[in-house]
Amino acid sequence: MNAGKTLYDKLQVLARNLWWSWQPDVVALFRDLDPKRWRELAHNPVALLVEIPPREVDERAAEQVLDSRINYAFRRLGEYMTTNETWGTTHTGPLQVRPVAYFSAEFGLHESLPIYSGGLGVLSGDHLKSASDLGVPLVGIGLFYTQGYFLQRLDSDGWQHEDYISVEIDRLPLEAVHDKTGAPVIIQVETRDGPIRAHVWRVQVGRTMLLLLDSNVEGNSPEDRELTARLYGGDVRTRIRQELMLGVGGIRALAALGIDPGAVHLNEGHSAFAALEMVRRRMQAEAMGFRDAFREVAAQTCFTTHTPVEAGHDRFDSRLLEEHLGPLRDELGLSEHELMGLGRVYPENSSEPFCMTVLALKASSRANAVSGLHGRVTRRIWQSLWPSRGPEEVPIGHITNGVHVLSWLAPQMHRLYDRHFAPDWPTRTSRPDVWAGIERVDDGELWETHQALKASMLDFMRRRVARQYRRRHEPDDFAQQAEQLFDVDTLTIGFARRFATYKRADLIFSDLERIARLVLNSKRPVQLVFAGKAHPRDEAGKRLIQKAMHTVRDPRFRTRVAFLEDYDINVARHMVQGVDVWLNNPRRPQEASGTSGQKAVLNGGLNLSILDGWWAEAYDGTNGFAIGGGWSHADSSVLDARDAEDLYRVLENSVIPLYYDRDEDGLPRGWIERMKRAIRTLGWRFNADRMVIDYVNEAYLLVAGGSSCVMRR
């Protein structure tokens, strides 16, 4: 592997496998090559190597003594890719022969590959990374969005505007997929208006391969060439065409590569059309009727639903369905009414639209929600699909989400764990005994590490806020104030997520006078950092952002409240690694799981959250803080008022006093005790290794015994 490779060649190999993104020493290696360019290029090593010619790489390596670090990183990647000593080698049985096909509309792997919008994408990215680390044979299938999700820009009145910028493909870790003859793989999906074609890109994510379909292909109409340009962009017609490409096109891409999956995982309903394409192939290959083929396909398919919110379930009318699924319907031998019935709760109800979630539930033998509470809510929502069963008998389980530890853990915390945990702890993050090592960490060492991370986060925030003010041509004193914004010794609360109304970003501002007293307290002040995007067509969400920005501009709050624009993985990483408290206050029970608070736990942050999603099964009274008693209310205004009052009460009576209660050494011993409790009780339970192991044992292996899904060219 080393023979004949220059340092530049080795860096190219490292850059083109996203394994580097969860290896802090390799990240530092690329950063040290050119720190200024590294920041300017969105931490993208492929782009960095385009900017730095090979000769200059050799010169920099000699100047900074990087050659040994490059060789070591290159050798470690080689060992990682070739070892057979993984959890998956022992535990995944038939998946070693026929892998899992994991479909998702978005994948959040790193900020340099902008094909994600938020939680669903980051969850999918973490799933791929943990599958790689565990050695679980899995292939991801998604779409390549050449303009990604939007760049967020707020005007002087706080209103969100969306900008789209096309990425430069030669600066991304993409490789075109070719067939045995060396020709690019092109797949085609038929519609009543004509075929839509797409070529296939490969992204290497450690040991895991991700396939991305791109409709910007010569021969497509101008409309279809733009089909995969934007994530969650366009109208409902764009949405069904994207989902047709993801599901049907994704199965055809697997077939073109000769991949015959043993288990198919539909991550959310966007990819449910994949089941119909698998049925078509089964019917043709084995001369089966539709019902038998449908039953066989369901036997090897599992489905994860991620939301109890109505807007999260895509629905299409019969006209759109016939326009796009008509040719496939013909091959399936179904009438228009029969096809529509597959996506209806009540198949005979001609006024009911086609729902992708309904199709996914019908076309899978294993279905799960993403937390315990979400499971109960989901069984109640979809009970009508099993009218003879009570809610507790509905066959929808739950596998609670988790996060990829090494992607979200700060390097400083990584080093602290290295000193006090077992030597092989990164390979055993799903074991409780590993995280018990936090009790061996000296209180002062843990607090000092947290304060260093907090200082780094605040420095990042100040620079970003000052840049925002200058871009909007705000008064000079605004930018100057931003550069002095926040203090490392002040309790800092972070809130960052999609600005959907049910997430209630404005709950803490329900009583401005009361929050002002907390924020401006001379002895025990509070600082608030916000970030997040609203969907381009979500006017209510945009108004929430505007409300937050108006609060930021209030003279009372300008030095104590900040909003970071253009939320992405980089912003999230800084925030979850540096805040003291992670705030989450959705209307229960509308938060299916949530994972941002899990990332904060890894870095010593404490959660202050409604008992919803993962926190409902995580909070034990001593490992964070709870808002409310797990209640809900039919009248959202009553619930909001009740939760706001409880949020203020917990801040005033629990969070703030505990943070500022210091001993003679200046340490908040009670706070640190709670930090350790959170890390010990939550680190092993809410990480993606545990999650993927659960999927293997509770879904993948159970469906992998299903009949073969014939994938012929």
pLDDT (tens digit per residue) in 262-307: 999 999 999 999 999 999 999 999 999 999 999 999 999 999 999 9
**What are 468's two structure tokens?**
């925002």
Inter-CA distances, 406 with 568, 600, 669, Å: 18, 13, 27
Res. 311: pLDDT tops 90:
no
Distance of alpha carbon 70 from alpha carbon 311, whole angstroms: 48
Beta bridge partners of 583: 608
Average pLDDT of the residues in 320-345: 98
Burial class (CB in 10 A: 0-12, 13-18, 19+), 351: exposed
- Sequence-separated (6 or more) residues with CB below 8 Å from residue 39: none
The count of C-alpha atoms lying within 13 angstroms of the C-alpha of 488, restricted to the half-sphere facing its C-beta, is 15
pLDDT (tens digit per residue) in 592-613: 999 999 999 999 999 999 999 9
Average pLDDT of the residues in 527-540: 96
pLDDT (tens digit per residue) in 171-215: 999 999 998 888 999 999 999 999 999 999 999 999 999 999 999
Res. 711: pLDDT tops 60:
no
Please state the φ and ψ torsions of residue 469, each to the nearest 5 degrees: -60, -45
**What are 327's two structure tokens?**
């040719």
What pLDDT is stored for residue 2 in this prediction?
58
Distance of alpha carbon 667 from alpha carbon 686, whole angstroms: 28
Distance of alpha carbon 667 from alpha carbon 343, whole angstroms: 58
CA geometry: angle 51, 212, 270, nearest 5 deg:
135
What pLDDT is stored for residue 710 in this prediction?
34
What pLDDT is stored for residue 558 in this prediction?
86
Min mean pLDDT across 43-52, 129-138, 216-225, 478-487 is at: 478-487
What pLDDT is stored for residue 201 in this prediction?
98
**What are 8's two structure tokens?**
């530049």
Percent of the chain with pLDDT over 90: 90
**What are 403's two structure tokens?**
């996060």
Q: Name which of 416, 453, 442, 193 is nearest 325 in CA terms.
A: 193
CA geometry: angle 595, 539, 528, nearest 5 deg:
50
Q: Name which of 84, 191, 102, 187 is nearest 138 in CA terms.
A: 102
Q: How many CB atoms lie within 10 A of CB 194?
A: 11
What pLDDT is stored for residue 179 in this prediction?
87
Q: What is the dihedral of CA 14, 16, 19, 25, to 10 degrees?
A: 40
Q: Which residue has the tokens 């779409």?
A: 143
* 216 neighbors 200 (Cβ within 8 angstroms): no
The count of C-alpha atoms lying within 13 angstroms of the C-alpha of 28, restricted to the half-sphere facing its C-beta, is 10
* 269 neighbors 263 (Cβ within 8 angstroms): no
Percent of the chain with pLDDT over 70: 97
> In angstroms, how far is CA 343 from the centroid of its own chain?
27
The H or E element that residue 302 is part of is: strand 301-304
Burial class (CB in 10 A: 0-12, 13-18, 19+), 638: exposed
What pLDDT is stored for residue 707 in this prediction?
40
pTM: 0.96
pLDDT (tens digit per residue) in 608-659: 999 999 999 999 999 999 999 998 898 999 999 999 999 999 999 999 999 9
Q: Name which of 62, 34, 83, 86 is nearest 692 in CA terms.
A: 86
Taking all residues of the chain, what is their mean pLDDT, rounded to a whole number? 94
- How far does the chain reach from its first CA to its final CA, in angstroms? 33
Longest dimension (CA), the chain: 80
Please state the φ and ψ torsions of residue 217, each to the nearest 5 degrees: -125, 140
Beta bridge partners of 298: none
